[in-house]
Amino acid sequence: MSDILNLSRRGFLKGVVTTGALVLSVRVLPSGLLAEEVAYAGTHAEHAPLHPGVYVGIDTDGTVYIVAHRSEMGTGIRTSLPLVLADELDADWKRVKIEQAIGDARYGSQETDGSQSIREFFDAMREAGATARLMLTRAAAQQWNVPESQCRADLHTIVHASSGRKLGYGELTTAAGRLPVPDKKELQFKPPSAWRYVGKGMVSYDLSHLVTGKAVYGMDARMDNMVYASIEHPPVLGGKIKSYDDKAPLQVPGVRQTIPIDTFKPPHEYQALGGIAVIADNTWAAFQGRKKLNVAWENGAHAAFSSDEFKKEMQATARKPGKAVRNEGDVDAGFAKGGKVLEADYYVPLLAHASMEPPVAVADFRDGKLTAWAPTQDPQATQDAVSKALGIAKENVICHVTLLGGAFGRKSMPDYIVEASLLSKKVGRPVKVVWTREDDVKFDYYHAVAAMYMKAAVDDKGMPTAWLQRSVFTPIPSTFDASATYGGDDEMGMGFTDIPFDIPNLRVENGPAVAHVRIGWLRSVANVYHAFAVQSFLDELAHNAGRDPLEYLLALLGRPRVLDLKATKYPNYNADYQKFPIDTARLRKVVEVVAEKSGWGKRKLEKGRALGIAVHRSFVTYVASVVEVEVTPQGEVRVPRVDTALDAGLVVNPEITRAQFEGANVFGASLALMGEITAKNGAIEQSNFNDYPVARITEAPRENNIYIVESTAPPAGVGEPGVPPFAPALCNAIFAATGKRIRELPISKTNLKA
């Protein structure tokens, strides 16, 4: 490290470090420091004397800087991954400072979705921690002139056991930093029995800032000289401006100008939607000005899209043969044999993410470079999208990641950052684009609308001998290829091609659907509708057979075995199937645990109440839920209790994991009870929480019990897998309570009045 860098670095540190632990950078604080004074100079970690890799650095005062390269949207990942590193380093958590990475390929993937951060980076964090520990140990051994094997790490110090000598990490870091970085093969990992933090967990690193209003979200980012923008988007996807009149907006005090934004050229990907931006001195003025815009739109082909007709089309498609994606035995022969046949259609509407913080971004274009501060799940995708939009190199896009006020998949799509970038270039100063809640609800990358058809032939015990299931949904690939109508292998692999039942003749099919709105990932993605169809249908079969749903479910799971899916294209959430197979023993286990904990078949329930069960593996985690429902004579549905058992392999942070599953049950309640987005003439009909309601404290499960099944399997996902079982378990409970079968979500569409 050169002296010059050192000096400028020190200047930088002065401004940043002293203000406290969470600080993302001075520039997002309302402290008025000029952008030029704090141009991004890399992480503290990389400027520390000991810096064996991109994730960690140790300063002479003993501060351990750990880089969080994944985005924090409430899952605790900004805490849990650094915790793994800190444990392996044997660092004192109190002396750890976490810094948020900008988008940079050197960190590996930063795409914070798919519930994969721990799964994909557990080993990398351990290696980084073990590497730094070994270098510190080596430095101490050299200093004491003793064999390395006689020295060991003990909470931020290296000790020489026999002599009792000790040196702190800060004292060793300079010497350690001069040593060559050891080879992976030399590393020794702690045995699980020595883990300080892993498996025990730690509260969010940001906790105190989250309860005091100090936490900095995208909504809170500001830059000097910044102006605010609110954008009137074309009401129909792909629509263009015919003409517009901005006289009235320009009269609004605080409004500076209006700027048209070109409509994207298909496929839309992460491009700006287009429309007219109103630029103003504050958010309110921008909103007000925008209300006064007068725009005539040219709507285009998607204006023919209306949800009612579209639903009929999809359901018709689901009744026609589709593309087979998994085949076992001979389904047609199975059905030809005769016997009782059951069939059912299920439907799940479009859904919006509605994270509490709507899309928002600050961007500053100057000297051919774009600096963004934004709540994004994927800063590298942001670099790509912005570089394309502005025609600058990816390296010239510096994307800082703020805290995310919820995301649920929405903020994997950085279109709103592209908007801010385009506008900053045009305005010549930093621009903050703020989406209203109405924008968020009307212009989302929606969760697909889906129609499923299920058909089974059953034997005299009611067990299926042939099983056909077909799924039709507006596919996510349509976001990247305008002509795509079939689902990707990953979407089909989310609870459909991977159904784990022991059925001799089975076929899984996918039918086409044209997307007329932007489609994207939403918490647990295709698992939402697939689990709803499969787990509801299973309950139908159980009742048909006159058998207890729990007993039937276990019978259908069959003998404990690892599913052989070699003949099927099954991405397994991009995880190695050897390491993360579908193991029906683990499915059985979570079912058994949740049955016992919920008092299935044993607990006395109040009148009007009943239990329903569902089990589902997603993001390589096994989850079973039992929902207790209360249906009032007026047909109101309440959820007094939910019990959820999960096997996510090794759980790094149990407390935060429990919170994720509690939240997933609430998220499940929202989509099951009340979530629905519809379109008429191509435009979305809902606008805010009045017509797109989400669960409030009064509607969320009253008791929310989470059980973590001890497991030695490698760590799996925890952010999403809690969601899929909730809706079917609730609907199965409603059937048990009322005899009414819900085949369409949300439940509010069905009249449950006695």
| Sites of contact with ligand FES (CB under 6 A) | 74, 356, 406
Interhelix angle 77-89/117-144, rounded to 10 degrees, is 30
Based on CB atoms, which residue is closest to another protein, 253 or 739?
A: 253
Q: Does 94 bind another protein (CB under 8 A)?
A: no
* Contact with another protein (CB under 8 A) among 83, 135, 219, 278: 219
Region from 123-131, 295-303, 398-406, 455-463 binding another protein, contact rule CB under 8 A: 398-406
> CA dist 732 to 464, 520, 599, 728, 738, Å?
19, 28, 16, 6, 10
Based on CB atoms, which residue is closest to another protein, 134 or 403?
A: 403
Judged by beta carbon distances under 5 to 8 A according to partner kind, the member of ligand FES, another protein, none in contact with residue 692 is: none
- Tell me the closest approach of the beta carbon of residue 408 to another protein, in angstroms: 8
- Tell me the closest approach of the beta carbon of residue 438 to another protein, in angstroms: 8
Q: Which region holds residue 409: left if phi is over 0, alpha if psi is between -120 and 50, else beta?
A: left
The answer to whether 502 and 557 have CB atoms below 8 angstroms apart is yes
Total number of residues binding another protein (CB under 8 A)? 68
- Tell me the closest approach of the beta carbon of residue 660 to another protein, in angstroms: 8
Q: Which of residues 664-723 bind another protein (CB under 8 A)?
A: 664-667, 688-690, 694-698, 700-701, 703-704
- Tell me the closest approach of the beta carbon of residue 245 to another protein, in angstroms: 22
Based on CB atoms, which residue is closest to ligand FES, 74 or 464?
A: 74
Based on CB atoms, which residue is closest to ligand FES, 376 or 474?
A: 376
- Tell me the closest approach of the beta carbon of residue 460 to ligand FES, in angstroms: 51
Q: Is 464 helix (H, G, I), strand (E, B) or coil?
A: strand
* Contact with another protein (CB under 8 A) among 253, 368, 546, 633: 253
Region from 164-172, 400-408, 568-576, 616-624 binding another protein, contact rule CB under 8 A: 400-408
**Identity (one letter) of the amino acid at 82?**
P
- Tell me the closest approach of the beta carbon of residue 722 to ligand FES, in angstroms: 15
DSSP letters for 608-630: TEEEEEEEEEETTEEEEEEEEEE
* Contact with another protein (CB under 8 A) among 405, 414, 430, 721: 405
Based on CB atoms, which residue is closest to ligand FES, 359 or 406?
A: 406
Q: Which of residues 420-439 bind another protein (CB under 8 A)?
A: 434, 436-437
Q: How far apart are CA 472 and CA 151, in angstroms?
A: 61
Q: Does 73 bind another protein (CB under 8 A)?
A: yes
Judged by beta carbon distances under 5 to 8 A according to partner kind, the member of ligand FES, another protein, none in contact with residue 404 is: another protein
> CA dist 654 to 407, 510, 641, Å?
22, 37, 21
> CA dist 67 to 77, 82, 102, 126, 275, Å?
12, 7, 10, 13, 38
Using only C-alpha atoms, the chain has a radius of gyration, in whole angstroms, of: 27
Give every strand in the sheet of 56-58, ordered side by side: 50-53, 56-58, 64-68, 96-100
Phi (first) and psi of residue 12, to 5 degrees? -65, -45
Q: Is 157 helix (H, G, I), strand (E, B) or coil?
A: strand
Q: Does 663 bind another protein (CB under 8 A)?
A: yes
Based on CB atoms, which residue is closest to ligand FES, 373 or 667?
A: 667
Based on CB atoms, which residue is closest to another protein, 296 or 697?
A: 697
Region from 58-66, 69-77, 165-173, 188-196 binding another protein, contact rule CB under 8 A: 69-77
Judged by beta carbon distances under 5 to 8 A according to partner kind, the member of ligand FES, another protein, none in contact with residue 57 is: none
- Tell me the closest approach of the beta carbon of residue 356 to ligand FES, in angstroms: 4
Judged by beta carbon distances under 5 to 8 A according to partner kind, the member of another protein, ligand FES, none in contact with residue 690 is: another protein
Record the tokens describing residue 463, joined without a space: 């067990």
3-state secondary structure 263-321: CCCCCCCCCCCCEEEEEECCHHHHHHHHHCCEEEEECCHHHHCCHHHHHHHHHHHHCCC
> DSSP assignment, residue 567?
T
Record the tokens describing residue 631, joined without a space: 């249906």
Phi (first) and psi of residue 76, to 5 degrees? 85, 10
Based on CB atoms, which residue is closest to another protein, 155 or 203?
A: 203
Length of the chain: 754
Q: Which of residues 350-369 bind another protein (CB under 8 A)?
A: 354-358
Based on CB atoms, which residue is closest to ligand FES, 407 or 431?
A: 407
Alpha helices in 17-49 (DSSP H): 44-47
Query: Closest by alpha carbon to 68, among 85, 52, 47?
Result: 85
* Contact with another protein (CB under 8 A) among 122, 228, 305, 622: 228
The answer to whether 83 and 198 have CB atoms below 8 angstroms apart is yes
Q: How far apart are CA 433 and CA 458, in angstroms?
A: 57
Based on CB atoms, which residue is closest to ligand FES, 500 or 663?
A: 663
| Contacting residues toward another protein, per CB under 8 A | 30, 72-76, 203-204, 206-217, 219-220, 222, 228, 253-254, 282-285, 287-288, 354-358, 403-408, 434, 436-437, 655-656, 659-660, 662-667, 688-690, 694-698, 700-701, 703-704
